[in-house]
Amino acid sequence: MTSKLLSELNAEHFKNAVIILDIDGAIVPDKTSDISAAAERFVKLLAETNEVHLVSNGKRHERNAKLAHRLGVSYFETPHKKPTKRAVLHILENQSGRPVIVIGDKFLTDGFLAMRIKAEFVKVKRLTSGKEGAFTFFVNFIDDAIYAIYQKLEKGFSKF
């Protein structure tokens, strides 16, 4: 279950798609604004050939909007949270038949969202700051365990 950091993905895999990109844990560590130069380059590269939308369950809308502006992509403040479809309906209404790809670090939010909207899910290695509390550690542990089980079940079913 090894996944890559966002900046380690192959940008050639993503062409003419609608990308729903998680912020916390995928682009920056949870609750920070500290984007690495590599992640910034990658998101800007994605935006050259795709329609990229930042999405977050966090409430730091001003930070999210500034980050989107810096990266040259869109961010839309919504009261709805992933994995509900309503969190991304404004994006899906304009996708024009292009493939939709959800990129994120959490299976229980980003992965379930991808399933609900019938999109491809690309799980990236979670960025951490080292300052995460016990609750965040526990949630991430559970998320990783459920994703590992899901992958095993998916592989098992594909044998039939």
Amino acid 159: pLDDT: 53
Amino acid 154: pLDDT: 84
Question: How many domains does the structure of the chain reveal?
Answer: 1
* CATH code of residue 10: 3.40.50.1000
Phi, psi (rounded to 5 degrees) for 18: -100, 115
The average pLDDT across 32-44 equals: 94
Domain-embedded: residue 59: yes
Amino acid 94: pLDDT: 81
Domain-embedded: residue 1: no
Amino acid 155: pLDDT: 82
| Residue 88 and residue 71 in contact, taking contact as beta carbons nearer than 8 Å | no
Q: Does the pTM exceed 0.85?
A: yes
As a whole number, the mean pLDDT across the chain is 92
Torsion of CA 77, 64, 67, 75, to 10 degrees: -20
Amino acid 2: pLDDT: 57
- Residue range of the domain that includes 22: 6-158
pLDDT in tens, 44-94: 999 999 999 999 998 899 999 999 999 999 998 888 999 999 999 989 988
Please check the confidence at residue 113 and state whether its pLDDT lies above 90: yes
| Residue 65 and residue 76 in contact, taking contact as beta carbons nearer than 8 Å | no
The average pLDDT across 32-50 equals: 95
